[in-house]
Amino acid sequence: MIRTRNQFNLLLILRILLARKKIIISMFMMIAIPIYFTAGLITDVYEADVTLFIDEQPLKTPFYKEGVVLHSRTLPIDLKRQTLFLNSHTFLAKITAALDSQQVRRLTNIPADMPDSIPSETAIIKSLKNAVEFSKREPAIITVNSRTSSPSLSYELVCLITQYYIEENLKQNRQDIVAARKFLYQQQENARQLLIEAQAAAMNFKRKNEIHLQSVRIENLELNAQLNRLEHDVVLALENYNWLSKRYMESRIREEETLNNIRTVSPAVMPQEPSGSKTMKIRLLGILAGLFISITFAYAVEYLEDYINDAADLRHITDIPILGEIPYIRTL
């Protein structure tokens, strides 16, 4: 088709579409139909998730400085460390060991006609990593998400991971409390020894200087000052020992009632419908791609043809009036 510049309008496009409708329909069928039926082979994905909130934890081990145990601060939650732990081989191996045979078959997509096929632990962990995702959100929120072809499996995986994560958290908290209790016990023993030494020093000083302390002469003021310092040391040592004893008893109580610092904000729910089904999306994209490619191909074919088909083509390239047309008649 011969054309000049700036001869691009809607009527021209419609003429091209009508003239090349056979090419457009053929190309569309060749592209859209295979994509449409291929999309039906894609398995639907069911998604389940749970949102967890992690409270701040106390310092794992109190530290001792100048006779005082500091244990009032809390550690900020390291979400990166938590997600690394959830993605670790050790944690996923525990989840894998807790799966039953039916869950393993569904997770690894073992066909029903292969009942004796048992995947390795590595293969199960790899499938588990592909099915489960852990995401973090500040300040202290972790979301556990599971996407599988089975709604019950997605729900079971999320619940199982949450259960084991909470159990590991309890175990770690208990270990921290035991470590803190042992540290406090050692500091209490040290404080008790310091108290005994301070009391002994004060008693020895009194017995050694008893006659001089009963005198009120000016030269004995220095002895009185030394005795006051020793008695003050005894008071400080006693206060420190009592404080450590109280903290030690508190740690014993905490050890007995270890609390979990993970709270469920949004519990898992059994998915009823596929989540973001890809089948319809792929089919829609196939239809759009078929239309776009077929129309583009038809226009390209029309653009590459540089001959005149009818009077309309001639009007597009010249302003000379057309006096008439001679029809083409097949030879009889």
Note the pLDDT of residue 218.
Answer: 45
Query: Which residues face 43 on adjacent strands?
Result: none
Neighbours of 20 (CB within 10 A): 20
Note the pLDDT of residue 310.
Answer: 67
Query: For the chain, what is the largest distance between any 2 Cα atoms, rounded to a whole number of angstroms?
Result: 156
The pLDDT tens digits along the chain (332 residues) read 544 444 456 776 777 777 778 888 888 888 888 887 776 666 778 888 999 988 765 444 444 444 444 444 445 567 888 888 888 898 999 998 888 888 888 888 776 566 666 788 888 889 888 889 998 887 788 999 998 888 888 899 999 999 888 888 888 777 777 777 788 788 888 888 888 888 888 888 777 776 555 554 445 567 677 778 888 888 888 888 888 788 777 767 666 555 667 888 888 888 877 776 667 778 888 888 888 888 888 878 777 766 666 676 677 677 777 777 777 676 65
Query: How far does Cα 276 stand from its chain's mean position?
Result: 19
Note the pLDDT of residue 221.
Answer: 67
Note the pLDDT of residue 59.
Answer: 44
Note the pLDDT of residue 68.
Answer: 40
Note the pLDDT of residue 184.
Answer: 77
Neighbours of 293 (CB within 10 A): 16
Reported pTM: 0.55
d(CA 77, CA 69): 23
Query: Before 76, cis peptide (omega within 30)?
Result: no
Note the pLDDT of residue 64.
Answer: 43
Note the pLDDT of residue 60.
Answer: 45
For the chain, give the secondary structure using H, E and C.
CCCCCCCCCHHHHHHHHHHCHHHHHHHHHHHHHHHHHHHCCCCCCEEEEEEEEECCEECCCCEEECCEEECCCEECCCHHHHHHHHCCHHHHHHHHHHCCHHHHHHHHCCCCCCCCCCCCHHHHHHHHHHHEEEEEECCCEEEEEEEECCHHHHHHHHHHHHHHHHHHHHHHHHHHHHHHHHHHHHHHHHHHHHHHHHHHHHHHHHHHCHHHHHCCCHHHHHHHHHHHHHHHHHHHHHHHHHHHHHHHHHHHHHHHCCCCCEEEEECCCCCCCCCCCHHHHHHHHHHHHHHHHHHHHHHHHHHHCCCCCCHHHHHHHCCCCCCCCCCCCCCC
